[in-house]
Structure 1
Amino acid sequence: MPTCRLRERVGEVARRARETGWDFCVVLHDDRVVLGLLDAAALESDPAATAENLMRSAPLTIRPHLTLEHAAQRLDAGPTDHALVTDADGRLIGLLRRSDVERRLADLRAHAVSG
């Protein structure tokens, strides 16, 4: 998943995101703490603007110790189909997609019924 810094120009960030097949970019502080998110609309807007000017603050985040059920609840309550996984200090660890959570929960339920 693409990441960028506050002062990077959106045009360059959008190019990197498109080249790697993503429609968003996570805005990070130098120590990898999540500051915000550039969504698809932001990436398509003013290429001369900085990430800081166009980012959405406080994207949905979850901690890696959450159960799949809790992660599903958080995703259901949020506005997106994914959540950023961060440590207790807010540093980016990864990404959890709603489709992955749903698939894994379905697998676990099927195994519980058959097993």
Structure 2
Amino acid sequence: MSARAASRLERLGFTVYRYQAGRADWFAAGLTREGRDANVPRVADVAKRDLQTCRLDERLGDVRDRVDGDAGEPLIIVDSDRVVLGLVNAEALASEPMTPFEEVMDPGPVTFRPNLRTGQVPDYFKKQGIRHALVTTSDGVLIGLLRLHPGHDDA
């Protein structure tokens, strides 16, 4: 079960049991790498980390005033542990001020693990027709945001 689904179920009152991390999760968490591939660029190395976030229980009107309005960057909905719950684009931020984020967010944003090689990303962005993706740990905790490089505008 994904961390996003677990967080939503916990919010609804369910008790959730999750697998604990192992060796593969070490790499997927973006922790220190060693060996011959240690210097290969990974998405965690290039992801933007200073991001606009808010909580699911906040209202659009309250958050709209504090975000900078960068139309190219989504607002990321996280829980108290920074587990990603969804994304809100600039168009959705123009909704009625009392609208709950749950009504306007994308609950299934594209995510990558931090150990993914950067060379694999442009083709995926182009094939999927996306301009950004989140980088999260295997537990769904937000690490950063990847954006399509301006030189790839044909995606």
Could you tell me the TM-score, scaled by structure 2's length? Answer: 0.58
- Let me know the Cα RMSD of the aligned residues: 1.9
Selected match of 1:73 from 113, 123, 126: 123
Is there any run of 5+ residues in structure 2 with no aligned partner, and where? 1-50
* Partner residue in 2 for 1:22: 70
Q: Show the 5 A alignment for 1:51-90.
A: 51-90=101-140
Structure 2 partner of 1:44: 94
8 A Cα contact 1:85 1:95, kept in partner: yes
Higher relative contact order (CA 8 A, sep 6+): 2
Larger relative strand fraction: 1
Letter of the structure 2 residue corresponding to residue 88 of structure 1: S
Question: Any stretches of 5+ residues in structure 1 without a counterpart?
Answer: 103-115
Q: How many residues align?
A: 100
Residues 60-86 of structure 1: CA deviation (Å, up to 9, x unaligned):
111111111222233223343111110
Q: Which has the higher helix share?
A: 1
Q: 1:49 to 1:41 in 2, by over 3 A?
A: same
* Whole-angstrom distance in 2 between the partners of 1:65 and 1:100: 23
Identify if the C-alpha distance between structure 1 residues 45 and 28 changes in structure 2 by more than 3 Å, giving closer, same or farther: same
Task: Give me the TM-score of the superposition, normalised by structure 1.
Answer: 0.77
